[in-house]
Amino acid sequence: MSRRVYLDWNATAPLRPEARAAMVAALDAVGNPSSVHAEGRAARAIVERARAQVAEALGAQAADVVFTSGATEAAALACAGRGLVCAGVEHEAVLAWCDPALAVDGAGRVAVADPARSALQAANSETGVVQDLPAGLAVSDLTQAFGKLPLAFDWSGIDAGIVSAHKLGGPKGVGALVLRRGLDLTAILRGGGQEMGRRAGTENVAGIAGFGAAAAAAARDLAEGVWEPVARLRKILESELSGPENGTILIGKDAPRLPNTICLATPGWKGETQVMQMDLAGFAISAGSACSSGKVRASRVLEAMGFSPAVAASAIRISLGPGVSEDDAGRFAEVWRAARAKALARAGARGGEG
């Protein structure tokens, strides 16, 4: 039996060995990082080292990084009560706090009229489409761009940026909000005054340690060009899978995209069916965002881009990583094309979707 091939890096990246090692070491730190004794100071040193690592990878200052339980909490801290507008392509964690009033074109690009009142993601998790972030932007979801694209937060002019550890090979359940120097946000979680009074609650020392190590490793990999062969493999794979002659649409092809993300729609073949068929064949892909409690539904992102419900319901996402080989991609292409041919033949015979 062939080994399974993981093609869902945008949902969560495999845990980096550097992150695992940092977490295991941090588990032996018995102290509470808010305690003033030697054990507490040792735990605090772990947290502050990780804060510096995340800040350096983001191009920010350590004092401006606020650790959270993940990107969802960071989005709430950044957006709650600010009356922001956004586009319908944003992640649900941002949409929960913003009015989706911004226009999106068919390539997935968003027009921002008033940056100071707007939230705009750096890159979309489903399509990989990369946005131009205007100076003075209130909030940006950086989770998919962090570790895959160069970022210089201090030079960006953004007020607040949202990041997550597990998208770049850190542990799940830890993230951060990075703030423009001098920006004051009202804490949502209140209590002991941790994180400089901006997020109460004892810090997840082991998780934060893993985040810092993963961020440092991701920055090193980015500088060494590890995503360049991934981008080449992405282009080869999407040329083999999409085209007008086979009825498959490559979403976002006319916009800049992440180096690893392919979004395909094949009307007549439901995305959820494709996910299940590929899973049985040994390949992990997704249909839309993974953050829907295991539900598979028509892509809200594609609908916001103006695609029909039939197209949106047929979308899948293939997200590659440095661990995916040309042989892995080739085997997937062969299996997926064969399944598509059968599915479309059945759908054509029935006159409906497969």
Instruction: Tell which residue, 266, 282, 242, 286, has the closest CA to residue 342.
Output: 266
The H-or-E segment that residue 99 falls in is strand 99-102
Residue predicted with more confidence, 193 or 180: 180
pLDDT at 194 over 80: no
pLDDT interval class at 293 (50, 70, 90): very low
Instruction: Note whether 194 and 214 are same-domain residues.
Output: yes
Which of 79, 86, 98, 291 is the catalytic position? 291
What are the residues facing 110 on neighbouring strands? Answer: 104
Half-sphere exposure of 294 (CA within 13 A, CB side): 0
Question: Rg for the chain (alpha carbons), in Å?
Answer: 21
Instruction: Note whether 25 and 78 are same-domain residues.
Output: yes
pTM (2 d.p.):
0.93
Among 2-6, 127-131, 194-198, the least confident range? 194-198
Instruction: Note whether 32 and 50 are same-domain residues.
Output: yes
pLDDT interval class at 244 (50, 70, 90): confident
Active site residue 98: no
Domain of residue 295, residue span: 5-12+226-350
Instruction: Note whether 191 and 237 are same-domain residues.
Output: no
Instruction: Note whether 54 and 170 are same-domain residues.
Output: yes
C-alpha distances out from residue 9 to 5, 55, 312, Å = 11, 23, 21
pLDDT at 28 over 70: yes
Digit-coded pLDDT (tens) for 195-229? 787 887 889 999 999 999 999 999 999 999 999 99
Q: Residue 124's pLDDT is what? A: 98
Residue predicted with more confidence, 13 or 348: 13
What is the 8-class DSSP label of residue 122? S
pLDDT at 289 over 80: no
Instruction: Note whether 192 and 233 are same-domain residues.
Output: no
Instruction: Note whether 37 and 84 are same-domain residues.
Output: yes
CA gap 141, 201 in Å, rounded: 23
Instruction: Note whether 194 and 79 are same-domain residues.
Output: yes
CATH number at 326 reads 3.90.1150.10
Mean of pLDDT values over 105-113: 96
**Among the three residues 180, 207, 223, which one is the final residue of a domain in this structure?**
223
**Among the three residues 223, 257, 280, which one is the final residue of a domain in this structure?**
223
The H-or-E segment that residue 187 falls in is none
**Among the three residues 185, 201, 223, which one is the final residue of a domain in this structure?**
223
Digit-coded pLDDT (tens) for 44-93? 999 999 999 999 999 999 999 999 999 999 999 999 999 999 999 999 99
Instruction: Tell which residue, 348, 304, 327, has the closest CA to residue 124.
Output: 304
Q: Residue 228's pLDDT is what? A: 98
pLDDT at 117 over 60: yes
Mean of pLDDT values over 261-267: 96
Instruction: Note whether 238 and 344 are same-domain residues.
Output: yes
Instruction: Note whether 39 and 181 are same-domain residues.
Output: yes
Q: Percent of the chain having pLDDT more than 70?
A: 94
Count the Cβ atoms, other than its own, within 10 Å of residue 133. Answer: 20
Total structural domains within the chain: 2
pLDDT interval class at 185 (50, 70, 90): confident
Q: Residue 184's pLDDT is what? A: 78
Q: Are 71 and 93 spatial neighbours (Cβ–Cβ below 8 Å)?
A: yes
Q: Residue 297's pLDDT is what? A: 66
| Full strand arrangement of the beta sheet holding 160-164 | 65-68, 175-179, 160-164, 139-141
CATH number at 98 reads 3.40.640.10
Question: CA-based angle 319:68:61, to the nearest 5?
Answer: 90
pLDDT at 256 over 80: yes
Instruction: Note whether 211 and 237 are same-domain residues.
Output: no
Q: What is the mean pLDDT of the chain?
A: 93
Instruction: Tell which residue, 141, 126, 152, 140, has the closest CA to residue 271.
Output: 126
The H-or-E segment that residue 269 falls in is none
Q: Are 90 and 77 spatial neighbours (Cβ–Cβ below 8 Å)?
A: no
C-alpha distances out from residue 21 to 92, 211, 212, Å = 32, 11, 11
